[in-house]
């Protein structure tokens, strides 16, 4: 399964994305991703550590859901860990300047809950 989640506490939901977030991969998870991000928790940490390929379609899904979360008064942050490929794509496209990106999960959680 390329998407899963865990509620860390009543305020923070961690959404795990994995495998290829190309057109086909993003299409397969986009509806569930939006539903999970819009769930009861207003703070969302998106775990991208297991994503093997991040295309512009996947970035589009991240931006769309981060904006929606922002409009709901919540916050979304990205956790990439040691996933240098995904981090590079996010940095190259400037998305890390719009959605906070972290390599350390504790820092990501702290930022999400700030």
Partner 1 sequence: MTATPVAEWAAELSIRADFAETRRASRWLRVTGEARGVPEECITRLDHCMEEALANVIAHGGPGARAADIAIGLEVRCDAGLSAAVLNISDAGIAFDPTRAPAPARPGSLAEARPGGLGIQVMRSYADRIGYTRVAERNRLAIMVTW
For binding to partner 1 (CB under 8 A), which residues are involved? Answer: 20, 22-24, 27, 53, 55-57, 59-60, 63-64, 66-67, 70, 85, 89, 92-94, 97-99
Q: What is the closest distance, in whole angstroms, from the C-beta atom of residue 32 to partner 1 in the complex?
A: 18
Residue closer to partner 1 (CB basis): 6 or 97: 97
Residue closer to partner 1 (CB basis): 23 or 35: 23
The per-residue DSSP string of 15-73 comes to EEEEEEESHHHHHHHHHHHHHHHTSS-SEEEEEEEEEEEE-HHHHHHHHHHHHHHHHTT
Q: What is the closest distance, in whole angstroms, from the C-beta atom of residue 64 to partner 1 in the complex?
A: 5
CA distance 19 to 9: 26
Q: What is the closest distance, in whole angstroms, from the C-beta atom of residue 67 to partner 1 in the complex?
A: 6
- Cβ pair 54, 19 in contact under 8 A: no
Residue closer to partner 1 (CB basis): 10 or 92: 92
Q: What is the closest distance, in whole angstroms, from the C-beta atom of residue 4 to partner 1 in the complex?
A: 21
CA distance 18 to 9: 22
């Amino acid at each position: 399964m390329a998407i899963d989640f865990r509620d860390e506490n009543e305020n923070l939901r961690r959404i795990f994305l994995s495998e290829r977030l190309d057109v086909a991969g993003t299409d397969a998870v986009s509806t569930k991703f939006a539903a999970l991000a819009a769930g009861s928790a207003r703070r969302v940490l998106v775990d991208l550590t297991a994503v093997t390929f991040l295309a512009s379609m996947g970035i589009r899904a991240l931006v769309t859901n981060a904006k929606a979360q922002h409009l709901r008064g919540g916050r979304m942050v990205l956790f990439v860990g040691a996933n240098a490929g995904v981090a590079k794509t996010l940095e190259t496209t400037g998305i890390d300047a719009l959605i906070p990106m972290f390599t350390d999960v504790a820092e990501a959680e702290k930022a999400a809950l700030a």
